[in-house]
Amino acid sequence: MTQTAAALRREVPAAGTITDNDAAVLDPAVLGELLLGKWASVRRTARELAGRPEVHKIEGLTSAEHRSRCFDQLHYLVKNQAVHRAFPTSLGGHDDHGGNVAGFEELVVADPSLQIKAGVQWGLFGAAVLHLGTEEHHEAWLPGIMNMEIPGCFAMTETGHGSDVASIATTAVYSPEDESFTLNTPFRAAWKDYIGNAAVDGRAAVVFAQLITLGVNHGVHAFYVELRDADGAFLPGIGGEDDGLKGGLNGIDNGRLHFENVRVPRTHLLNRYGSVAPDGTYSSPIASPGRRFFTMLGTLVQGRVSLDGAAVAVSKLALKTAITYASERRQFNASSDLSEEVILDYQRHQRRLLPRLAATYAASFAHEELLEKFDGVFSGTSDTDADRQDLETLAAAYKPLSTWLALDTLQECREACGGAGFLTENRFTSLRADMDVYATFEGDNNVLLQLVAKRLLTDYAREFKGMDFGVLARYAVSQAAGRTVHRSGLRRVVQTVVDTGSEKKSAIALRDEATQHGLLSDRVGTMVAELAGALRGAGTLPQAKAAALFNEHQHELIETARAHAELLQWEAFTAALHRVEEPGTRQVLTWLRDLFGLCLLERNLAWYLMNGRLSSQRARTLTPYINRLLAKLRPHALDLVEAFGYGPEHLRAAIATGAEKQRQDEADAHARAVRASSGSPIEEKTLLARQAEQAKTRGKSSPRKARQVPEKSSA
Amino acid sequence: MTQTAAALRREVPAAGTITDNDAAVLDPAVLGELLLGKWASVRRTARELAGRPEVHKIEGLTSAEHRSRCFDQLHYLVKNQAVHRAFPTSLGGHDDHGGNVAGFEELVVADPSLQIKAGVQWGLFGAAVLHLGTEEHHEAWLPGIMNMEIPGCFAMTETGHGSDVASIATTAVYSPEDESFTLNTPFRAAWKDYIGNAAVDGRAAVVFAQLITLGVNHGVHAFYVELRDADGAFLPGIGGEDDGLKGGLNGIDNGRLHFENVRVPRTHLLNRYGSVAPDGTYSSPIASPGRRFFTMLGTLVQGRVSLDGAAVAVSKLALKTAITYASERRQFNASSDLSEEVILDYQRHQRRLLPRLAATYAASFAHEELLEKFDGVFSGTSDTDADRQDLETLAAAYKPLSTWLALDTLQECREACGGAGFLTENRFTSLRADMDVYATFEGDNNVLLQLVAKRLLTDYAREFKGMDFGVLARYAVSQAAGRTVHRSGLRRVVQTVVDTGSEKKSAIALRDEATQHGLLSDRVGTMVAELAGALRGAGTLPQAKAAALFNEHQHELIETARAHAELLQWEAFTAALHRVEEPGTRQVLTWLRDLFGLCLLERNLAWYLMNGRLSSQRARTLTPYINRLLAKLRPHALDLVEAFGYGPEHLRAAIATGAEKQRQDEADAHARAVRASSGSPIEEKTLLARQAEQAKTRGKSSPRKARQVPEKSSA
């Protein structure tokens, strides 16, 4: 615990009536260890590195300077052995996939550009060679990729096709005559676009193209392609341009690439999942082109996993800064003439920050489960088809929630710190600008949630194979069929609690864990069942009609996926909570989990009411109960952000250094000095109050009455 | 109508079954005129200016370059007579207050930094001299302020006091001996902060300080203070520093200022509302210090009014770009093998953009009413105390909604354009960075909404003077007392419709105008009454207890104010709609207003259900009805953004220039050419489809099956 945090906490008044329970004190060290999770040691090492000035973002650099700095930093990461954990032990790595991602995502606190540029080099370009290539590719290129001799690109996205990879139009046509592929970009929309390292640094690229041999298109495959010569000039047939300035992440040289009759040796096809023999014969260990495509893309899920983790880390940073400031900053003196309130004592301020704190905890615990799942699949310890599908679904569910949460949290924290929040030195705006694109890259959030919804529907259909969907939907709605749909949730859902408003059931409080779970899972189950009913028979309709039917439910589909993802987060939070033995910590964490769960209920309260899951009477108690939880949690807010384990070298925000407290103390000392020198009695009044009092004694009312006036200020 | 818009509209398929009504076509010219409002001519002139390259933001400049450019642009505005409309005719202005704000807010489309830097010079610094000073001040300084000989600052906010202006700690102590004030900054927290023009350009400032004379503090007053000599060096006793980089608006040199024994002549007190005689005697035309304080601040309401207008303008820009792109961009081919869908045809995409379009229309019409109110007060044609209070309340209600709407809209549009949205060339990220601080300056949004709520409570109390609040609350809740609380709404509310779920009332459709109005106003009325009941007797409690009681309802208070502001927006939208005679335009605008109203109901649906205002049955019809509205509005989306009247010189977004359509056409032409050269029949199939077909005939399934796969892409 930092001294400042300890000092400030002592100043915090206890909220409401004190009972034994309410007097709980949490141990930030215990909680911190829980948050660090399975790869605690890797995280500690990575955070030590991320705290060094060498890797920090310098604000205000030109784009060229920032790019150059990030490029140099990649060499620094190599030198400090920070980025090779996932590579084969035989090549100097550790075959440690989970640890690798854990280490990567901590880089975001140094500079998101660095995280992503490192991710391009080792997590996308290197990982594509590793996972899509075979041993001779590994030997040929991985050493150079690992040590940065070959800075490279992951050239998948095209200007005309972002989220629809299967439709990319770059072609690689095989010619048996010279045993090579010829790469072509048929038109402008088929240029590779938004490609990291493409504008300047990339010497080579893994290029995704439609593989055509003997006149047959075998779909999207990956090719290792040399891009530039030693002087950095494009090789013949290759062209490109700079994507230019972006809303953030300007340390990365994103660019466009196009190909005109570029010859690529047959052996440069990364052929783990599809090979072309010298005579042009295509073969693959996976017969179905669709399955092959998904398998190839599936090896790249780690991008989403690490974005999820990075987004969680950034939310933690933002909340630590904003909550520290809110515990020091005073504004308005509603409750006393003598001193102003600390802004975190205002209910609205608590409402703005604490539910986001709860959501960040939920996302953090959920991410840890995702990372373990990822490690299981990639280490081979739990690597069935079902495991891989679950991993894909989980990543697709969590990454949208955590990246949106980070943006929302950064913005609310920035506003909650007022004008100070807008200064770059306090980092909210800079981090927000960088994190913005996390919502759409490595899978657009809305598209990812659709995938989750489809998986839910598939599981649902599988469970009730052969049955009529319409009947099912009615059954599910009336019976609360939550139980049936959570295969992809990795665990079964307990019996749903339906609050019918009856007296007996009314006794179940909303803060009850089983009630929360029942309500959340019931909603998911019912939404899935209703969707399944609505989409019943879509498969037998003509394509256009099926698409129209599907489109009419697209919004619902995505909302269903979100509800599912939130349920999974709630479950992860609860599972983590159950591992805490220290009673004070467990108590506070339980309140925080309740806050998370009840805010989810509050946000979807209309659904619970319309569907008869909550009575109006019960529903009315929700918001007041949330308000009481806020007051309960408020004294623990500093401990809860301290448990995140980020120090000043990570925050690097002027307003989180105690500067505000120093200013407040100085103002107070000044007032005391004035009182002392003017010989007034030792009353706890500020200079201004004294002046106001003087005004009053002269029969004029004080301007202090004119309080709570918003500024008309300074632009 | 631009050619592109016309061409694209023709391609849009009609939605659903066509009836006479559904075939409505709107006339963008008619609608555009309605949107331009009372100051159409000023807006046209201002937009012509804002379209010139001389005033455009150049992206990627260093902060120093951007500041210097903006400074030069202020001179350009002077030369082009763009900024003097509010100043006295005698000094070369036009005494046109409404027109002045209308012209100012259009500057935001050129560069928000320019809008705000101009606002600092003429809207804050100049306006303070104009409104707080007297004739001799006007003659001495206004000419130099108007022509930029005196670049100046508006030095109100202090590091330690943002939203609480009454508590600022800078002092100005009068000394009869030398007939001057001495300015002092007592401690670090009292430095003036975030002050535009303070870091570099400001030669003078209007400084707000506690006026103390003959030992009495008369509260906050404004002083004209010279800051720098002709070489730009601080005058003796004055110091300061640069605020440094900000999240946006880096064309403005914000900085800090502090004062140590700075002498200011007695005559430099801007003394319209408070004077000090040579002997130190204080006098004021306003006896109450509280009222005096509010009156002085009240003259500065135009800052909020113009931020409201600027935020609306930016939302319009963003939506025009995003909706244009969404009408050209194709992705996934769900409904046909032959071509991909335009993304605006996806329900989710409509859900993301069209409700924000509706809200932007509402905010635009509401802003126009605010501007007329402002003009009435400042021109003196409607300048009672009640008018001024209404103006303050309206500005405090609208500015939070429109600035948050702009941020939300920019972000959704940015994400809806995917990676392209993140490129600076498409302006979403740049505008968002600049607009960010609009949510907290000129009055923090949350603080402003509290002021609105307090006004609602005051009106409510006045209406029921002498009555018991508890009784009233119960009365109001059961009787739906919306009628009683809308003084500050500027118009009375019609009889509330309560949907009890009975068959008869169930016949009233949610799209019915009176029903929407009844539901929205009933909610506001009930919330106010409930609050009044909850806070009853707070005035008789000890200060700390009263503050605690108030704090327990702070969140509710702010939500009540928001509900009120949304109701006013709905009313402004409806009033504007009623002025449209052209039936097609009126029909489409009615759907859009319905979308706005129904989305408000949807967002607060839980409230309507819990409070028995809507039956579950009725509530369930809401979302499907909104979805149908989206489909109805979709063919008119391009017309609706065209009516905003912004041209390519305002949008300046690469993706809104038709480039995307050109790329799509080229891709299509390429596919046709390939088919022609390969001699295949003239079927409407793309190259890839043909290739896939070849694959199929060889007994392999096509990779096209693997569609709707999100990208794993390019960072």
Secondary structure (DSSP) of A505-560 = HHTS-TT-HHHHHHHHHHHHHHHHHHHHHHHTTGGGS-HHHHHHHHHHTHHHHHHH
List CB contacts (< 8 A) between B206 and chain A: none
Contacts of B293 in chain A (CB under 8 A): 703, 706, 709
- How confident is the model at residue B508, as a pLDDT? 54
Check the CA dihedral B641-B645-B647-B652 and report its sign. Answer: negative
Which H or E run includes B225? strand B216-226
Cα–Cα dist B622/B601, whole Å = 8
Cβ neighbour number for residue B657 with a 10 Å cutoff: 16
Question: Do the chains contact at B289 and A551, CB–CB below 8 Å?
Answer: no
- Per-residue pLDDT, A486: 37
Residue B169: list chain A partners with CB under 8 A. Answer: 667, 687-688
Sheet holding A255-259, edge to edge: A192-195, A255-259, A238-242
CB within 8 Å: A215 and B694? yes
Pairing between β-strand A180-184 and β-strand A262-265 as defined by DSSP bridges: antiparallel
Angle at which helices A428-435 and A302-326 cross, to 10°: 160
- Here the tokens at position A294 are 């998904």
Contact B427, B317 (CB under 8 A): yes
Reply yes or no on whether the pLDDT at A709 is more than 50. Answer: no
Residue of A nearest to B243 (CA): A423
State the Cα–Cα distance between residues A667 and B187, nearest whole angstrom: 6
Cα separation, B18 vs B16, whole angstroms: 6
Give the whole-angstrom CA distance, residue A642 versus residue A33.
12
What is the C-alpha radius of gyration for chain B, rounded to an integer number of angstroms? 29
Q: How far apart are CA B472 and CA B177, in angstroms?
A: 59
- Distance between B603 CA and the closest CA of chain A, angstroms: 9
d(CA B698, CA A282): 12
Taking the CA of residue B446 and the nearest CA in chain A, the distance in Å comes to 8
Mean pLDDT of successive 10-residue segments in chain B (715 residues)?
A: 41 38 86 97 97 97 97 97 93 95 96 97 96 96 97 95 82 97 96 97 97 96 97 97 97 98 98 97 94 85 95 98 93 63 92 98 98 95 91 96 98 96 97 97 93 90 60 40 36 37 51 92 94 86 87 94 97 97 96 98 96 92 94 97 97 91 84 62 39 41 36 42
Residues of B in contact with A337 (CB under 8 A): 543
Distance from C-alpha of B207 to C-alpha of B223, rounded to nearest angstrom: 5
Tell how strand A180-184 and strand A171-175 pair up.
antiparallel
Structure tokens at A29: 């060290």
- A248 and B155: CB-CB below 8 Å? no
The reply to whether residue B290 touches residue A701, judged by beta carbons under 8 angstroms, is yes
Q: pLDDT over 70 for what percent of chain A?
A: 83
Which of A346, A351, A616 has the CB atom closest to B610's CB atom? A616
Q: Contact at 8 Å (CB) between B172 and B221?
A: yes
Q: Give the CA angle between residues A300, A304, A309 to the nearest 5°.
A: 135
The pLDDT of residue A162 is: 67
Chain A residues closer than 8 Å to B423 by CB: 243-247
Average pLDDT value for residue range A667-681: 65
- What is the reported pLDDT for A333? 64
- Note whether A714 contacts B157, CB cutoff 8 Å: yes
In Å, what is the CA distance from B361 to each residue of A453, B316, B365, B488, B599?
33, 9, 6, 22, 14
* Rounded distance between C-alpha atoms, residue A143 and residue A93, angstroms: 10
Give the pTM: 0.90
- The contacts of residue B507 (CB under 8 Å, 6+ apart) are none
| pLDDT tens, position by position, A531-551 | 999 988 887 888 888 888 989
Calpha distance A244→A267 (Å, rounded):
34
Q: Name residue A650's amino acid.
A: H
Separation in Å, CA of B665 to nearest CA in chain A: 10
Mean pLDDT (chain A) is 86
Residue A271 · residue A133 · CB < 8 Å: yes
Gap between the Cα atoms of B636 and B587, Å rounded: 11
Residue A659, helix vs strand vs coil: helix
Which residues on A lie below 8 Å from B422 (Cβ)?
194, 246-248, 436-437, 440
The closest alpha carbon to B175, from B258, B264, B260, belongs to: B264
pLDDT at A633 over 50: yes
**Interface size between A and B, measured as CB pairs under 8 A:** 490
Least CA distance to B188: which residue of chain A? A663
For B693, phi and psi rounded to 5 degrees?
-65, -45
Task: Indicate the helix (H) or strand (E) that contains A175.
Answer: strand A171-175
Using an 8 Å CB-CB cutoff, list chain A residues near B165.
Answer: 709-713
Which chain A residue's Cα is nearest to B340?
Answer: A167
Q: Are B238 and B262 in contact (CB under 8 A)?
A: yes
- How many degrees, rounded to 5, is the angle at CA B240 between CA B235 and CA B246? 140
| Secondary structure, 3-state, B164-208 | CHHHCCCEEEEECCCCEEEEECCCHHHCEEEECCCCCCCCEEEEE
Q: Residue A554: list chain B partners with CB under 8 A.
A: 346-348
| Cα torsion A656, A657, A661, A667: sign | negative
List, in order, residues 6 or more apart from A384 with CB less than 8 Å away. none
Whether A189 sits inside 8 A of B407 (CB atoms) is no
Record: contact B610-A619, CB cut-off 8 A:
yes
**3-state DSSP call for residue A645?**
coil
> Bigger pLDDT: B499 or A29?
A29
Determine the Cα–Cα distance for residues A124 and A299; give it in Å rounded to an integer: 10
Contacts of B441 in chain A (CB under 8 A): 419, 711, 713-715
Whether B709 and A419 lie within 8 Å, measured CB to CB: no
Q: Which residues pair with A635 in a beta bridge?
A: none
> DSSP state, B120?
I
Nearest Cα to B204, choosing from B93, B121, B133, B131?
A: B121
DSSP state of A611: T
Do the Cβ atoms of A335 and B688 come within 8 Å? no
Which residue carries 């200016």 as its tokens? B49
Please indicate whether, in this complex, the C-beta atoms of B333 and A167 are within 8 angstroms of each other. Answer: yes
Do the chains contact at B548 and A335, CB–CB below 8 Å?
yes
Nearest chain A residue to B396, by CA? A710
Q: Do B418 and A444 touch (CB under 8 A)?
A: yes
Pair A603, A518: CB distance under 8 Å:
no
Q: Which of B330, B432, B666 sits opposite A187 (nearest CB)?
A: B666
Q: Tell me the shortest Cα–Cα distance from B576 to chain A, in angstroms.
A: 30
Q: 3-class DSSP state for residue B301?
A: coil
> Which is more confidently placed, A442 or B634?
B634
Residue ranges in A417-512 assigned as alpha helix (H) = 418-422, 428-435, 445-463, 469-479, 503-506
Q: In this structure, what token pair is assigned to residue A86?
A: 């996932």
**How close does chain B come to A690, measured CA to CA in Å?**
9
Q: Are the CB atoms for A300 and B715 separated by under 8 Å? A: no
Nearest-neighbour CA in chain A from B714: distance (Å):
5
Do B278 and B179 meet the contact criterion of CB atoms below 8 Å apart?
A: yes
CA distance A196 to B111: 29
Using CA atoms, how far apart are residues A438 and A116, in angstroms rounded to an integer?
A: 10
**What are the DSSP calls for A313-368, one per residue?**
HHHHHHHHHHHHHHTT-B---SS-SSSPPBGGGSHHHHHHHHHHHHHHHHHHHHHH
Closest-CA residue of chain A to B615: A610
- Find the radius of gyration of the CA atoms of chain A: 29
At residue B170, φ and ψ (nearest 5 deg) are: -60, 135
DSSP β-bridge partners for residue B152: B204
**Cβ–Cβ below 8 Å for B422 and A437:** yes
Secondary structure letter of residue A488 according to DSSP: G
Q: Do B443 and A254 touch (CB under 8 A)?
A: no
What are the pLDDT digits (tens) for A634-651? 999 999 999 999 999 999
**What are residue A172's DSSP bridge partners?**
A183, A211
Tell me whether residues A156 and B419 touch, CB distance under 8 A.
Answer: no
Strands A282-283 and A180-184: unpaired
Chain B positions in Cβ-Cβ contact with residue A161 (cut-off 8 Å): 331, 711
- The structure tokens 């900053």 sit at A329
Q: Which residues sit opposite B259 in a β-bridge?
A: B238
Contact A422 B436 (CB under 8 A): yes
Domain annotation for chain A: domains and CATH numbers: 154-298 (2.40.110.10), 658-702 (no CATH)
In this model, does residue A609 exceed pLDDT 90? yes
pLDDT at A166: 85
The rounded distance, in Å, linking the Cα atoms of A398 and B447 is: 34
A528 pLDDT tier (thresholds 50, 70, 90): very high
Closest CA to B494 of B517, B463, B471: B517
Question: Is B162 in Cβ contact with A419 (below 8 Å)?
Answer: yes
